[in-house]
Amino acid sequence: MRAGEAVGVTEIGAETGVGAGGRLPRARGFASWPAPGSPKQEGKDLRRKVPRAAHAEFDADPGRPDAVAAVEESSRGRIPGLTPLRVGRMAASPFAFLRGSAGLMAYDLARTPMTRIGAQICGDAHAANFGLYGDARGDLVIDLNDFDETVPGPWEWDLKRLAASLVLAGREAGADEDTCRRAARDAVGAYRRTMRLLARLPALDAWNAIADEELVSHTDAHDLVGTLSRVSEKARANTSGRFAAKSTEPTEDGGRRFVDAPPVLRRVPDAEAAAVAGSLEEYLATLSEDRLPLLARHAVHDVAFRVVGTGSVGTRSYVVLLLDHRGEPLVLQVKEARPSALLPHLVTAGFDVPAVAHEGRRVVLGQKRMQVVSDMLLGWTTVEGRPFQVRQFRNRKGSVDPAALATDQVDDYGRMTGALLARAHSHSADPRLVAGYCGKTEELDEAVAAFAVTYADVTEKDHAQLVAAVRSGRIEAETGD
């Protein structure tokens, strides 16, 4: 691979038989290892084309859409009645605005210096999109946990979004400017050091390196231990059973059904519920066959519409209640998968983005490429012509609210999330190439931290524009849980 080429995952289609001279032919799709040349040196050579200090640069493009126009554009295709709720959530704070404006930031990032080393990126790697969830055995895993925007793209876009979000979250938490900047800088430092660690390991060891129980020590995030323990305790209780107990009621035939709880949860007409339930047949075909007996021991009892988080408000999202023979619940989320907000901006930046046959499949495969462990029931389907992803709902999920951290924990949280992001990127980008570019010094750390502070200031102005537009009546907003 040459510097500047995007790193991708090739298809595997092994040839059979033995070649001349008794040597096994190379299986089609398998790269030789180690790759010809030196990826580490290629990364170093990239510094001449894109100096690490250049990542501090950000000058708003003259044609940049204003904040309100960007929000309105990103609301196209969403359910109109929920747009005011989305606007209200984004207007709550500058950090909340950033969470809902991945497309606007991608517009900006497409006009910044890029190494053009590709990876499977989250596309929305802000500080609140990391969290805990349960694996197949019920143990808790910590990782990135939102992949609506995932797409092959520049690794530094994720890193810059994370760094800027840490500055905004830190400000909201009441941290001083030095602490906020340090959180951004140290997140980049943890990313860089983690990539260097992974680059030194054998490929198989690197793939599964840095177990979750080692994260605190690896990132020197000891001040977070108490917070993570409390979040873990809550996550263990955050299950389908608990959600069903709060959100459903018994029916006369011995089953259960959802109870309206506007504006977040509402029952849907029978035809709509039937369309969602019927789509699960297609979903089953996207799962590994060993999961099918488990789902076959459940029956669908009800479907409801449920509003989701800030960036996704207005998309179609359902919860499906399934019960086993004992009446124990399993709740699936069937969530609309819209095209990644990054796509047009990646094209502007000159990245060759592969065609997407099904947006739900894009989200699921992107998630599996980035996480060490993914939801065992992750799949996709189509409801009335629209693509959806399917996953377990309330699968022992828990998260740290970075804007509510004690000020002495913001920096620790930054280091932990930076390491997690590096681990996720290393599954698709060669860590030797990225580490070669990042290097040993703090030059990249300081540059991205400077960008993060500048971009946080820009986001605060964007947020102020939105708030002013709400007050003037230009755009409608409402609050809700």
* Res. 29: pLDDT tops 60: no
Quick one: average pLDDT of 285-310? Answer: 93
* Res. 402: pLDDT tops 50: yes
Using 50, 70 and 90 to split pLDDT, how confident is the model at 76?
confident
Q: What is the pLDDT of residue 277?
A: 97
* Res. 89: pLDDT tops 80: yes
* Res. 23: pLDDT tops 60: no
* Res. 84: pLDDT tops 50: yes
Greatest distance between any 2 Cα atoms in the chain: 79
Distance from C-alpha of 18 to C-alpha of 317, rounded to nearest angstrom? 51
Average pLDDT for the chain = 90
- Alpha-carbon torsion (340, 366, 370, 442), positive or negative: negative
Structural contact between residues 317 and 334, judged by C-beta atoms closer than 8 angstroms: yes
* Res. 19: pLDDT tops 80: no
- Helix (H) or strand (E) holding 151, with range, is strand 151-154
pLDDT in tens, 129-184: 999 988 888 788 899 999 999 999 999 999 999 999 999 999 999 999 999 999 99
Name the DSSP class of 31: P
Q: What is the pLDDT of residue 246?
A: 95
* Res. 215: pLDDT tops 80: yes
> Coil, strand or helix: which one is 137?
coil
Quick one: average pLDDT of 113-124? Answer: 96
Quick one: average pLDDT of 345-373? Answer: 95
Quick one: average pLDDT of 401-419? Answer: 96
Q: What is the pLDDT of residue 266?
A: 93
Q: What is the pLDDT of residue 3?
A: 38
Write out the two tokens for 404.
């509510």
Q: What is the pLDDT of residue 82?
A: 84
* Res. 64: pLDDT tops 80: yes
pTM, to two decimals: 0.91
pLDDT in tens, 276-292: 999 999 999 999 999 99
Where are the chain's structural domains? Answer: 20-233+401-472
Quick one: average pLDDT of 462-473? Answer: 96
Q: What is the pLDDT of residue 55?
A: 98
Give percent of the chain above pLDDT 90.
Answer: 77
A 10 A CB-CB count for 7 gives: 18
pLDDT in tens, 351-360: 988 899 999 9
Q: What is the pLDDT of residue 137?
A: 81
Quick one: average pLDDT of 406-417? Answer: 96
Distance from C-alpha of 187 to C-alpha of 194, rounded to nearest angstrom? 11
pLDDT in tens, 438-450: 999 999 999 999 9
* CA distances for 214 relative to 187, 222, 227, 415, angstroms: 17, 11, 16, 13
Using 50, 70 and 90 to split pLDDT, how confident is the model at 4?
very low
pLDDT in tens, 255-279: 999 999 988 899 999 999 999 999 9
Using 50, 70 and 90 to split pLDDT, how confident is the model at 9?
very low
Where is pLDDT greater, at 481 or 186? 186
* Res. 27: pLDDT tops 60: no
Q: What is the pLDDT of residue 37?
A: 77
Place of tokens 């860590």: 431
- Helix (H) or strand (E) holding 43, with range, is helix 39-49
Give percent of the chain above pLDDT 70.
Answer: 91
Distance from C-alpha of 233 to C-alpha of 227, rounded to nearest angstrom? 10
